[in-house]
């Protein structure tokens, strides 16, 4: 692997690791405002990139069922972002990020329930280990109702992100990575803006630091982080993909400790380590789940490259 690809991979890990701390820095902005503005900033940039690359025609290759899958995937992603932001406003960064990182396990179980792809022994063992770690993280929050609510929201956020990945696999068969991302991001932004209008959540009049943090998470985490990971991971073996994915919670914890002065407790560190070990087992030794064929001219996405249940793409 060339130094340039190492650099892009590192850039992706650092970018997504900043997501949770930046969302925390956007406080006290409303949950819907943070989620909607993040996607509203990111989607036009993705559309512009796809249009520049001449990839708009990809949508003509989609069937009616593909387009329905796109809409449902965007809806699941919108709910994920809302739950994810709400979780980070209620629980610690390390707990929130680690619980959401359980997505690959949820994807494997979801593929079993909805796509009739039985889980491998690695998925079963990894799930059991990760659940033990999740219990340790929740145990650290016993007696703190707000934090326990945050833990639950983080788990639900991981489930919705997994639903997004499982549902979106169908549409990805006929779309390039960039076209798929632009389509889903745009529809997700529309869903969130509708929710903002219905709930009358203010988008104007927020504190300046909130706008700066939201803009930063849209650019650094959404556009640079996720896109860098998608590009670089197209050239990586499965073992390296697993390690790269697990770099996000480690990086987010370090950033939170430095920037937010949020030092994790020993029980949080223990629980986080157990969860990440479980996720690693599932990612490292799981068998392929018949991933969609990537576009011939661009690298596959994280899950496709690994030959594993699709890895974390949101957060």
pLDDT digits (tens, 9 = 90+) for 91-128: 889 988 988 888 777 777 777 777 677 777 887 888 88
Q: Give the mean pLDDT of the chain.
A: 80
Is pLDDT above 60 for 61? yes
In this prediction, residues 290-308 reach a mean pLDDT of 39
- Give me the residue spans of the domains in the chain: 3-306
The predicted pLDDT at position 302 comes to 39
In this prediction, residues 205-229 reach a mean pLDDT of 91
Most confident range (mean pLDDT) of 146-150, 155-159, 193-197, 261-265 is 193-197
The predicted pLDDT at position 298 comes to 36
**Confidence band (pLDDT; 50, 70, 90) for 79?**
very high
pTM: 0.81
Comparing CA positions, the residue from 88, 14, 90, 94 lying closest to residue 273 is 94
């Amino acid at each position: 692997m060339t130094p340039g690809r190492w650099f892009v991979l590192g850039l992706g890990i650092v970018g997504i690791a900043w997501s949770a701390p930046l969302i925390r820095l956007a406080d006290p902005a409303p949950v819907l405002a943070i989620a909607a503005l993040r996607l509203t900033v990111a989607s036009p940039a993705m559309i512009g990139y796809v249009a520049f690359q001449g990839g708009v025609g990809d949508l003509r290759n989609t069937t009616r069922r593909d387009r329905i899958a796109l809409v449902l995937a965007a809806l699941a992603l919108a709910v994920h972002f809302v739950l994810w932001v709400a979780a980070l406003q209620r629980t610690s960064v390390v707990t929130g990020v680690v619980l959401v990182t359980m997505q690959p396990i949820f994807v494997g179980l979801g593929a079993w329930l909805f796509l009739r792809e039985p889980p491998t022994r690695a998925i079963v063992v990894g799930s059991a280990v990760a659940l033990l770690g999740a219990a340790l993280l929740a145990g650290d929050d016993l007696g703190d109702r707000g934090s326990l609510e945050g833990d639950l929201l983080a788990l639900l956020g991981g489930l919705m992100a997994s639903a997004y990945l499982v549902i979106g696999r169908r549409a990805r068969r006929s779309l390039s990575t960039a076209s798929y991302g632009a389509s889903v991001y745009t529809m997700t932004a529309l869903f969130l803006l509708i929710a903002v209008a219905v709930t009358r959540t203010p988008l104007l009049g927020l504190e300046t630091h909130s706008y700066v943090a939201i803009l930063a998470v849209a650019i650094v985490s959404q556009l640079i982080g996720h896109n860098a990971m998608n590009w670089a991971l197209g050239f990586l073996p499965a073992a390296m993909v697993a390690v790269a994915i697990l770099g996000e919670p480690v990086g987010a914890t370090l950033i939170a400790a430095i920037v937010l002065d949020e030092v994790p407790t020993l029980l949080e560190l223990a629980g986080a380590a157990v969860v990440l070990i479980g996720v690693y087992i599932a990612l490292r030794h799981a068998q392929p789940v018949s991933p969609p064929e990537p576009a011939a001219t661009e690298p596959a996405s994280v899950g496709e490259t690994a030959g594993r249940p699709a890895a974390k793409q949101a957060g």
